[in-house]
Structures are given as structure tokens and as C-alpha cells.
């Protein structure tokens, strides 16, 4: 096991990793920008190193500053968390070249799965169903020919994309030609890579992801699925597990397909294989080569500490459990608490938290790095916490979530808590019969 791990992130995920390290008897090193000097992840870490001014490009995305912080403190490994450099193959390779262990998959696996076109090809080789489309759309003419064979509506997507960027929808050929130009410019600006590919637009699918974990001995397991269909502008709002909208047959086939794909990629550490589901059909869309924001849902469902497992695997240990040992008990849900105003088109709401009351009780977990008097900086993602609930049944989990959300008091800023309470009262959510377009329809008065 490592003696010291540097956490190359901020906020709640950094604090989450710090705690996991300390429970393993590993010293945790936090890094911080000037905006985060008084942050909780800095307070709770064993050591902390300043890495630059507030803009992420000069701090949390500064590879050399992170490597220097590791050298300065004698850290043997770097955990990237999620976001920032977590899926950056160049960062993973730089860690290896510096003699540091990257707590995640290899740079080669990140490269292989990070390009969505290449991942589609690999999925087909692993006999995993993919959404009808093409692996490349190098020109508007080529895209139009492909779309003619697939049918409209169609999605133009950035091969190096993520976070909902570099995506456009076309209803006909004229729209497609324009979409190719716009998506390419956006992809080049956001990712430095304008490569595009096409996918048939599924009108009302579910978005379901499978958590996988692999070790260096070639063993890969899944830890079941998470339902992620409650989305706004392709950004997840809440997640739950198990999915209330798929059959046991689809659950088993999809989980097996996720494991097959991870093995085909030579994948190690934690990853998530994402699918779109319509009726009894499921289609691979991408793989996230990192721990996910919503990993606590799986932890509550299975009792497996995914972050500790990540660290153990990175240190060379085999998986601590086999597939038949992974339990699935009850039902779990996660609600992303963002500093945004749902009534003002989700306008960011940075500011000082003047009063804070955190919910508790059986089956309630709060992952957050805020405190009363904390000043939310305007430079980073707006998520300030995650409320996670578990109960033996989905109905009980909904009741528990409603109670916990009402207890969660955050004053001084606007949050998405009122939106979550509204969703819990909706018939679509209560029945489990919702899809990726449901929340947009609800917000638009549909």
C-alpha cells in the first residue's frame, strides 16, 4: 500500500478521497488554488499544497504544478477524482513518466475509450450493441450520405466530447449540414479535436450506466447499474439504483456486456459503461474512465467502498471480491445539490452560506465540502453537495429522500433542492416511467 497519495482535485470528491486514504492508513495530500485556501478538503488532508490562482487552467488543470506538488511532498500516487484531469491520457502518462502511480486506468485505456468513435469500434469487436450511426463524419457530404442510410433525426457528436458539449441534433439534411459545421467548431474549441461521429437519435430512451472495476490480474466485475435518465441539457440531475425501468433480463445482459467491453479494452480500476435503453434493447454510447459523481449510489446499494477499491487496485492488490460476492440490497438515490436558481433558468448562485442544516437519520448520506460561512467561488462547477439515501424499497427511499431534502437547509444561496422536491411528487418519477427527455419537457411546461 502507498504511504502518501496526492488528490488532484477540489471540493467534495477531493474530501471523499482524502477520507478513503486516511481510513486505509495512507497520508493524503490536498492541493488548492487561491480560491480554495479555506476549503474543507484542505483542512482535513494531512498536507496541503498551493498550486496556483483561481482559474482552473492555472491550478487544477496545471499538470506540471500537480506533479511538482507530488514531488515536493513525496507522494507516490495521484488520485484525479472526477472532472479536471481525471480522463486526460496525457496526465496519466505524465504521472507514469514521473514515477508516480495514477489511481485510474492506464493512459492507453483512457486514450482508447476516451475517443467515442474508437470506443464504438471496440464495442462492436466485443459484440456489444451500439446505437446505429457512423464512427466518422469527416465532412458534411459524408454525414449526409450516412444519415440517408440511417434515417432522421440524427445526432452529430464530438468524438473527443463529454459533458454534453459538441452535440447537435438534425431533423433533416439541411439541418445536418449546418450541425456538422457548428459541432466541429465547438469540439475544436472545447477539446482541441474537431472529429465528429453520427448516432441515430433515440426519441425517448433511458440512460443507464454500469459500474465496472478491473484489477491488474485481468479480473473484471460489475457492481450493477445506475439509472441516470433525469437530465437537463444532458447533465444528470439525480440518479438511482437499481434502475426502475429495465427488466432483469436486460439488467443481466447489459452488465455482462459492460464487463466484456472492459476486458476487451484491458481496463483496470473503476470505470462506467453507459448505455441507452429502449424497451428490451440496449446500446453502448460511451465509457467514463474514472470514478463518477454518482458513485455513492452504488456504494449504498452494494456496501462496497469504490474509492478504497480504486486505491488498493492502483497499489497492485487484486479485486477484494468476485462477481458472485457483490451484493445488491434495497434501493439508493442521489440528488445533486447545485448552487443554481431553477426559477431563473438555473442561473449560478455563488455566495456565502449564511446558514447550514444537514439532514441525517437512517439511510442518509451527505457528500459535501461546504460549511456555514463558506464562500462558494464562482470559478468552478456549481455542485455544492450530494444527498444520497438508501432504503429497503424504492417507495421507502422516495419517502426518505423527501424527508431529508426538507431537512436540508442552505441559506444565503439558491439551490436545486426545490426542484428535487418537485420531481419526487411527479407521477412519472414515482412510477419509474421517465426517460432522458422528461425533465426538459417538465421544465418547458410539457
Q: Which residues are part of the catalytic machinery?
A: 290
- Residue labelled with grid coordinates 483512457: 110
Distance in Å from the first CA to the final CA of the chain? 53
Work out the widest C-alpha separation in the chain, in whole angstroms.
60
For the CA atoms of 308, 110, 70, 382, the dihedral, rounded to the nearest 10 degrees, stands at -80
Q: Which three cell numbers stand for residue 176?
A: 445536418
175-to-90, 164, 179, 185, 204 alpha-carbon distances in Å: 35, 19, 6, 16, 21
Helix axes 107-114, 116-125, angle to 10 degrees: 90
**Exposed (0-12), middle (13-18) or buried (19+): which is 236, by Cβ within 10 Å?**
buried
Q: Which three cell numbers stand for residue 65?
A: 504544478
Q: What are the start-end ranges of the E strands in 23-69?
A: 27-33, 47-52
Pairing outcome for strands 235-241 and 409-411: unpaired
**b/e string for 376-402 if b means 16 or more Cβ within 10 A?**
beebbbbbbbbbbbbbeebeebbebbe
- Residue labelled with grid coordinates 455482462: 256
3-state secondary structure of 164: coil
| CA–CA distance, 335 with 342 (Å, rounded to integer) | 14
Q: What secondary structure letter does DSSP report for 104?
A: S
11 and 380 Cβ atoms separated by less than 8 Å: yes
| CA–CA distance, 114 with 40 (Å, rounded to integer) | 31
261 and 275 Cβ atoms separated by less than 8 Å: no
**b/e string for 320-339 if b means 16 or more Cβ within 10 A?**
ebeeeebeeebbbbbbbbbb
- E strand or H helix at 384: strand 383-391
| CA–CA distance, 379 with 366 (Å, rounded to integer) | 23
Amino acid at each position: 500500500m502507498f504511504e502518501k497519495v496526492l488528490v488532484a482535485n477540489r471540493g467534495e470528491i477531493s474530501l471523499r478521497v482524502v477520507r478513503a486514504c486516511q481510513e486505509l492508513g495512507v497520508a493524503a495530500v490536498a492541493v488548492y488554488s487561491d480560491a480554495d485556501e479555506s476549503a474543507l478538503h484542505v483542512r482535513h488532508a494531512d498536507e496541503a499544497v498551493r498550486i496556483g490562482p483561481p482559474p482552473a487552467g492555472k491550478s487544477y488543470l496545471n499538470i506540471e504544478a500537480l506533479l511538482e506538488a507530488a514531488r515536493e511532498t513525496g507522494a507516490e500516487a495521484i488520485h484525479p477524482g472526477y472532472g479536471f484531469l481525471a480522463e486526460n491520457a496525457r496526465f496519466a502518462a505524465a504521472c507514469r513518466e514521473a514515477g508516480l502511480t495514477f489511481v485510474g486506468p492506464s493512459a492507453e485505456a483512457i486514450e482508447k475509450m476516451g475517443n467515442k468513435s474508437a470506443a464504438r469500434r471496440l464495442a462492436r469487436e466485443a459484440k456489444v450493441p451500439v446505437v446505429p450511426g457512423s464512427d466518422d463524419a469527416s465532412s458534411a457530404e459524408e454525414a449526409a450520405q450516412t444519415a440517408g442510410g440511417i434515417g432522421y433525426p440524427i445526432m452529430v457528436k464530438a468524438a473527443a466530447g463529454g459533458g454534453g458539449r459538441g452535440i447537435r441534433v438534425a431533423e433533416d439534411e439541411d439541418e445536418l449540414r449546418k450541425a456538422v459545421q457548428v459541432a466541429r467548431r465547438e469540439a475544436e474549441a472545447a477539446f482541441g479535436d474537431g472529429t465528429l461521429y453520427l448516432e441515430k437519435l433515440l426519441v425517448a430512451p433511458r440512460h443507464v450506466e454500469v459500474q465496472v472495476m478491473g484489477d491488474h490480474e485481468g479480473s473484471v466485475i460489475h457492481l450493477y447499474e445506475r439509472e441516470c435518465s433525469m437530465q437537463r441539457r444532458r447533465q444528470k440531475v439525480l440518479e438511482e439504483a437499481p434502475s426502475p425501468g429495465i427488466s432483469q433480463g436486460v439488467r443481466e445482459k447489459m452488465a455482462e456486456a459492460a464487463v466484456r467491453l472492459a476486458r476487451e479494452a484491458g481496463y483496470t480500476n473503476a470505470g462506467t459503461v453507459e448505455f441507452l435503453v429502449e424497451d428490451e434493447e440496449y446500446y453502448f454510447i460511451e465509457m467514463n474512465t474514472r470514478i463518477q459523481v454518482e458513485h455513492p449510489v452504488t456504494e449504498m446499494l452494494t456496501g462496497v467502498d469504490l474509492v478504497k477499491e480504486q486505491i488498493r487496485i492502483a497499489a497492485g492488490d487484486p479485486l477484494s471480491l468476485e462477481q458472485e460476492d457483490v451484493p445488491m440490497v434495497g434501493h439508493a438515490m442521489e440528488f445533486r445539490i447545485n448552487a443554481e436558481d431553477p426559477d431563473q433558468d438555473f442561473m449560478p448562485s455563488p455566495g456565502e452560506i449564511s446558514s447550514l442544516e444537514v439532514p441525517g437519520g437512517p439511510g442518509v448520506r451527505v457528500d459535501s465540502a461546504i460549511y456555514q460561512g463558506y464562500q462558494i467561488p464562482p470559478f468552478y462547477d456549481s455542485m455544492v453537495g450530494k444527498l444520497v439515501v438508501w432504503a429497503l424499497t424504492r417507495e421507502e427511499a422516495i419517502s426518505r429522500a423527501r424527508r431529508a431534502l426538507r431537512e436540508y437547509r442552505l441559506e444565503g444561496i439558491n439551490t436545486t433542492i426545490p426542484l428535487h422536491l418537485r420531481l419526487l411528487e411527479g407521477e412519472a418519477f414515482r412510477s419509474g416511467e421517465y426517460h432522458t427527455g422528461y425533465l426538459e419537457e417538465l421544465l418547458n411546461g410539457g
